[in-house]
A = this chain, B = another copy of it.
């Protein structure tokens, strides 16, 4: 049995050696992808001095009266020569005339036909309301760094830098196979000791949630021959990850570990000192110059999804250097049971109240209870040495 931190480190070590080819996508398809290049400003940003307000552009002096000699709107610049006693109407974002250095907002001025007057209550400073060329970013500076996750606000910068096509890292391909004699298709009604297979659906969605590519290999009974064939075939696929569920506990039919070994997968660990999710397997399969991470999760649907959240998700984020802030420290609203020295991931509901973060956990914490998991919004992480966390104590919560 291995400690949680050591197990996560082993996965991170291996995942960080996955080679990441680079692919190019259209900017409109780049959303949610991870940038594989630094984006360089190919022009100054902004590309020209422009007005931050609707107002009048002037050449700074101490006067409070000007002749209006023209107007400039965005995209309609005309090179007007401006004296100290002259002003030009200018709209937000428009290029400021060459001689002007200051924009006085409309609301501070009175217009009388062609005469402009400063309101008695108003004042102005040199340079006011002019956004100068290159102020945001100079040409050739980095606008967006490699490994940035591309969201709406980043896309705006990509567009401003003229990136019609964007270099991004590929989506990981993760194949998912569930095993277990108890499993039946979801369109059948469970009888006797059968259960509808839910793992392949939840893990499929979890991979998609991270914007990677899930491949559904379905489920199979605990038949050694059939499972071995499926594993053999999966390891031949062009995938980065093989995720299985079931067959890694200690029962008679838990022979996945043996099959992995026979197929050449190198075991890195088996069983982690956590609750739930202990019977987890991790191995690595190397072929040609490609590596497949093999993650054998427990058959229990709650445990397998929690293992995804606490192992696979952080490992993938690590690979793509994503510093995801999905942890919130909160005050426990009720006692939690914990007598052992395992790391616990308890289901909780996190909320902010009067500026303070709180987490309730009045769930049974049964690792069989998928409904509870679906209603939780976080996992409360209780470290190995910590026992009986009591109401009011601060705990770390992982958003799920």
Residues of A within 8 A of B (CB): 27-28, 31-32, 42-43, 45-48, 50, 52, 54, 71, 73-77, 91-95, 106, 131, 135-137, 143-144, 150-164, 180-183, 186-190, 192-199, 201-206, 208-209, 216, 221-222, 246, 249-254, 298-301, 305, 308, 325, 327-329, 350-352, 355, 364, 366-374, 376-377, 394, 400
Contact assessment for A202 and B352 in the assembled complex, using a CB-CB cutoff below 8 Å: no
Contact A27 B201 (CB under 8 A): yes
Chain B residues contacting A216 (CB-CB under 8 Å) are 28
Contact B153 A73 (CB under 8 A): no
**Mind listing 15 A-B residue pairs with CB under 8 Å?**
A45-B371, A52-B367, A54-B250, A74-B181, A74-B299, A75-B221, A91-B252, A93-B368, A131-B366, A152-B308, A157-B370, A159-B201, A164-B186, A325-B352, A329-B355
Look across to chain B and name the residue whose beta carbon is closest to the beta carbon of A222: B75
Please tell me which one of the listed residues B94, B157, B162 contacts residue A193 in the complex, with CB atoms under 8 A apart: B94
CB distance from A248 to the nearest CB of B (A): 11
Which of B95, B186, B369 makes the CB contact (< 8 A) with A163?
A: B186
A95 nearest in chain B by CB position: B193
- The chain B residue with its CB closest to the CB of A106 is B250
> A182 CB to closest chain B CB, in angstroms?
3
Q: Which residues does chain B contribute within 8 Å of A150, judged by CB atoms?
A: 205
Q: Are A77 and B252 in contact (CB under 8 A)?
A: no
Q: Which residues of B contact A308 (CB under 8 A)?
A: 152
Among residues of B, the one whose C-beta sits closest to the C-beta of A28 is B204
Are the C-beta atoms of A93 and B182 separated by less than 8 Å? yes
Is A374 within 8 A of B153, CB to CB?
yes
Question: What are the residues of chain B within 8 A of A155 when measuring CB–CB?
Answer: 198, 201-202, 204-205
Identify which of B159, B181, B250 contacts A202 (C-beta below 8 A). Answer: B159
In the complex, A206 Cα to B71 Cα: how many Å?
34
- B187 touching A164, Cβ below 8 Å: yes
A351 and B325 CA atoms in complex are apart in Å by: 8
C-alpha spacing A96/B77, complex, angstroms: 82
Complex interface: chain B residues within 8 A of A31 (CB): 205, 208-209
Name the one of B52, B156, B164 contacting A374, with C-beta atoms under 8 angstroms: B156
Docked-complex contact B368 and A50, CB < 8 angstroms: yes
Residues of B within 8 Å of A374, CB to CB, are: 143-144, 153-154, 156-157
Query: How far does the alpha carbon of A197 sit from the alpha carbon of B308 in the complex, in Å?
Result: 40
Interface pair B394/A92, CB less than 8 Å apart: no
CA gap between A121 and B246 in the complex, in Å = 31
